[in-house]
Amino acid sequence: MWSVLLVFVATYILIAARRLAILPIGRSAGALAGACGMVVLSALIPGAGLTPDEAFAAIEPNTIGLLLGMMLLSASLDATGVFERAAAWVARRDLSPVRLLYVVTVGAGLASAVLLNDSVCVMLAPLVDRTARRAGLDRIPYLLALAMGANAGSALTLAGNPQNMLVGHLSGISYRDYLLEAGPAALIGLAVTAVALHLLLRRRIAARTAPPAIEPAWEPAPPDGRPSALVPLACLAVVSVLFVLGANLAWTAICGAAAAILLHRRDAGGLFARVSWPVLLFFGALFIVVAGLQKTGIPEQALRAMSPLLPSGPTLGVVGLSLALLVGCQIVSNVPFILLAESYIQSQPDPHLAWIATALISTLAGNFTLLGSVANIIVVEVVGAEREIGFRSYARVGVPVTLASCAAALLWLLLAR
């Protein structure tokens, strides 16, 4: 038991150390090393770790497949230059700094609900950075708006982020039911996020770092050689409709991506190169590491020991679960914490409501700290803002934004029930 716990802790240290720039081996490599450790442990100590067959069985194919399909759809849309054209359209409107903040926050949130928050941040971070610089504005508020808006908005659907995909599989809640029940609460969370960012960053938004750049209006790259955006947009629309109608999420996304590739009749090598394969490897390996720890029964024992300290009952139990999620997602990240807490969530008086709250709070909790969401790290790293957005400077904004948005979304969810 303790040997498995040691492998799990060592894996998490490797993952966190990459994000803290102590051991530069990467999140995916750290998770892969942990997965290998669980399998090697089973060979060295009978009954410990996972056998090779158990390790492969632990990987959740529906989550991996949905991630792959949505990444390919996002890549096919990005290849058409649609995001560049959207950014150029915003730049031509010469919005006030405050309006630009709301456009970035809400726009990133709505896009993430359809296209996956990590993919949206990869595609939009350079464009948001360029828009702010061209207007002579401090770029930090807008980068924070992109990351936090993408996180908050991704709570709208089960396809908005990896943890919601996992919740959809574990709970059996349909895409349509989740959208109807959690959608309004997620929209409120997104709105509160935008307002809170405005209030907290109003001084930085008002101050200009430089005069607006005097240059020709920003236009996107010429469309020569680029495929039409109509094909991926149509495929994405069909996929979204099928999601609502109850089709299998993973295969619907994969088939939608395949249709977009076939209809373009082009070499798909460039699209596959845009897929974040390390992220897929990371989640696959993480499933194995968490399954090894779950086999020991330690997570269940820990949650049982902690449950008397949390409120109980149909309503207060959800509040207690939300507090546990808010803290636990900062310690071991949202996806592994949901995997570890599955039995505790299922044991709630109203498991359906508990799963809805899990998806909402675990997503909004990603804004709490810089390490709370992969999307945060992506935005910082893509535009090279590591020195300007540190752990403490992010937390000064992220903590109040998260507490306000979680409270508002949870209150609406409970009142609606």
Q: How far apart are CA 126 and CA 120, in angstroms?
A: 11
What is the structure's pLDDT at 211?
Answer: 61
Within 8 A by CB and 6+ apart from 295, the residues are: 4, 49, 50, 54
What is the structure's pLDDT at 80?
Answer: 85
The domain locations on the chain are 1-58, 59-416
Per-residue pLDDT of the chain (417 residues; tens, 9 = 90+): 678 878 877 777 776 654 545 556 767 788 898 999 999 989 888 888 889 999 999 888 888 888 888 889 888 888 888 877 877 777 777 788 999 999 999 999 999 998 888 888 888 888 899 888 888 889 999 999 999 999 999 999 998 898 998 899 899 999 999 999 999 999 999 999 999 999 999 988 876 666 665 444 445 555 555 667 888 889 989 998 998 888 888 899 999 999 999 888 778 888 888 887 887 888 888 889 888 888 887 777 777 777 777 667 777 889 989 998 998 888 777 877 888 888 889 888 899 999 999 999 999 999 998 878 878 878 887 788 878 888 889 999 999 999 999 999 999 999 987
Q: Bin 276: left if φ > 0, else alpha if -120 < ψ < 50, else beta.
A: beta
Q: Contact 311/59 with Cβ under 8 angstroms? A: no
**Tokens in use for 375?**
């999307």
What is the structure's pLDDT at 195?
Answer: 97
Q: How far apart are CA 147 and CA 10, in angstroms?
A: 28
Q: How far apart are CA 48 and CA 196, in angstroms?
A: 48
Q: How far apart are CA 261 and CA 379, in angstroms?
A: 28
What is the structure's pLDDT at 317?
Answer: 84
What is the structure's pLDDT at 113?
Answer: 92
Residue with tokens 């892969």: 32
